[in-house]
Structure 1
Amino acid sequence: MQTLYPEIKPHARHDLAVGEPHVLYVDESGSPDGLPVVFIHGGPGAGCDALSRRFFDPNLYRIITFDQRGCGRSTPHASLENNSTWHLVEDLERIREHLGIDKWVLFGGSWGSTLSLAYAQTHPERVHALILRGIFLCRPQEIHWFYQEGASRLFPDYWQDYLAPIPPEERGELVQAFYKRLTGADQIAQMHAAKAWSTWEGRTATLRPNPQLVDHFSEPNRALSIARIECHYFINNAFLEPDQLIRDMPKIAHLPSIIVHGRYDVVCPLDNAWELHQAWPNSELQVIRDAGHAASEPGITDALVRAANQIARRLLKLPPEEV
């Protein structure tokens, strides 16, 4: 069983001004001359942390992590202004150009898989390969499953806490009801809604209970950016046309990909990954039998570390014993 690489510190930091009013936090670690890989975090709104760079062999990879608009160390915090899927695709291009990278590997999980696909389909010539986890195609049926009805039937106890900030008469359109509070002037109501939304996600992300992950999601600053930005994206159908990511798969059909998905993923059910794999002849799907959604689950971590090594070996033409 592969585990994360030891903790390392960034050797470079960039504060990159993009569309007003946003300034992105970007850092680099690993080998400056290594294979470029960009870690594309989830949410949208979650941000990166010290674990994000530890899926990659620092002797082989030039590791780029960044916080998307409105979250993590990027500013302004939890901002919805000029914040859409296509702004983030432009930001990735801006980062690539700023760092002088010709092509890179995309590594994205959950919403990070959504954004990775959107970027690759827009700029296929800039992508070596993709490593994707917990596939989220961001279609209305997936939003409905997790935030309106579906996952609620598996976790009725957690669901009651999610519903708590919303009066019964508004529960027929929960994303709309949360959006009203998350964008309203009442800061107490806003934080109450944010913690309920984000805690629901943290509680259901793992096959086995993980109190540390729940605490991570419910930390007030993080909960606010996750809830506000996710709700903003979801109420706008992630700024995607109907079934756009599957429709546009021919644009990246030639690119190699390893898809890792937990068998018991409740946040993003396995049929997302299965459908993507069927539309992508050059992809390899690995279903992790004892895992849910989170990258921190041992089986998922093992598969992702192995996938990163496999991609590096293939692209750098290294024999197995050197990886």
Structure 2
Amino acid sequence: MEELYPALAPHASGMLEVGDGNSLYWEVSGNPDGKPAVVLHGGPGSGSAPLSRRHFDPSAYRIVLFDQRGAGRSTPHVSEPGVDLSGNTTWHLVADMERLREHLGIDRWLVFGGSWGVTLALAYAQTHPARVSELVLRGVFTARRSELDWIYNGGAAHLFPEEWADYLAPVPQDQRGDLVEAYRRLVDDPDRAVSERAAVAWSAWEGAIVSIVPQLSYRTGYSAPAFAVPFARIALHYFTNDAWLSDGQLIRDAGLLSGIPGVLVQGRYDAVCPPTTAYELHRAWPGSQLMLLDGAGHAITDPGMLAGLRMALDSFSGS
């Protein structure tokens, strides 16, 4: 873990009302006068993690973390009874980022995102390019139907057949044509036992394939109901709605990023988000740099990933 900067605590935090009854948890660490950078967590629905602060040189960066609607310490949390997700879409999150930027008095910021955080980072940067100084993106995901089918409808099953059998187990045989839609119905089932079993199976599948070498810590962490239930519910809400994007939109519109420097840090053996997406985005984005890591999968702790992220972020720290 020597590729990480020392642990640090936030020096400011708060809750920001963003409408529709939602309040976002946010925090700032590092140099109050440093280069602004915002971290977009994955999932959607996983919430921010303290480790994310440690990718940045704390003497150079003003580091902003926040929890997206329904996740982490933002309220209402998706696990609360009766929470309505109709006001929780990609475009609500893009608007929330602008409210937070203005609230913190930031003109432009570096945007750092991984996995789902890449999707949100691209949607934000293509909507507000003048507000983005650079992009650093890990484990590239753009929510195309082909990407969702790879993860959830059988592509990665060819690499992890035993884990795939566990993923299929909660779904009735006659409902396996579209497993994303089937899991949405199961996770929304009013029977808590049915819902929780499905959420754990959905989340455990991703925990099983996230690292190039399957690790018990990922399996147990993703399988814990306290993590799995909100993770599955928000993710399925987004993915059954194609993340409110037309198919291929974020790569098709990558020309809007022209003039924004960016680095794509991608594991060559990423079973969650295969590198073809990062390659296609790189080809469509003028001036981007693709860093393909031959020893890595999707996990941030896979070989070379932390070092690659530090190299990218350090390269922008003085700009």
TM-score w.r.t. structure 1 length? 0.95
How many residue pairs are counted as aligned between the two chains? Answer: 314
Q: Residue by residue, what CA displacement relative to the aligned partner does 1:5-28 show, whole Å, maximum 9, x if unpaired?
A: 111111111111112221111011
Report the counterpart of residue 35 of structure 1 in structure 2: 35
Shift of residue 149 of structure 1?
A: 1.4
SS at match of 1:134: strand
1:133 aligns with 2:100: no
User: Which amino acid letter does the alignment assign opposite residue 239 of structure 1?
Assistant: W
What is the alpha-carbon root mean square deviation over aligned residues?
A: 1.1
Consecutive unaligned residues in structure 2, runs of 5 or more: none
Identity of aligned residues (%): 51
Tell me by how many angstroms 1:145 deviates.
0.9
2:199 match: 194
Counterpart for residue 109 of structure 2:
104
Distance 2:247 2:199 in 1: 28
Distance in 2 (alpha carbons) for counterparts of 1:267 and 1:39: 20
| SS in structure 1 of the partner of residue 111 of structure 2 | strand
Aligned to 1:220: 225
- Aligned to 2:4, the other structure's residue is in SS state coil
Q: How far apart, CA to CA, are the structure 2 residues paired with 1:282 and 1:210?
A: 36
Q: Deviations over 1:181-231 (max 9, x none)?
A: 112211111111111011111110100122112222222122111111111
**Aligned 1:7-156 pairs, distance under 5 A:** 7-78=7-78, 79=83, 80-156=85-161
Matched, 1:256 2:261: yes
Map of 1:247 onto structure 2: 252
Shift of 1:81: 3.3
Matched, 1:306 2:311: yes
For 1:113 and 1:38, locate their aligned partners in 2 and report how far apart those are by CA, in whole Å.
Answer: 12
Q: Within 2, Cα distance between the matches of 1:16 and 1:188?
A: 34
**Deviating more after overlay: 36-45 vs 215-224:** 215-224
Moved more, 228-237 or 217-226: 217-226
Contact 2:42 2:117 in 1 (8 A): yes
Structure 1 stretches of at least 4 aligned residues deviating more than 4 Å after TM superposition: none
Deviates more, 1:215-224 or 1:250-259: 215-224
The 2-side partners of 1:104 and 1:298 are apart by 28
Contact 1:71 1:222 in 2 (8 A): no
Q: How does 1:151-190 map to 2 (within 5 A)?
A: 151-190=156-195
1:269 aligns with 2:274: yes
Q: TM-score, normalised by structure 2?
A: 0.96
Counterpart-to-counterpart distance in 2, 1:237 and 1:81: 14
**Could you tell me whether the CA contact under 8 Å between 2:255 and 2:286 is conserved in 1?**
no
**Offset, 1:306:** 1.2
Amino acid at match of 1:303: G
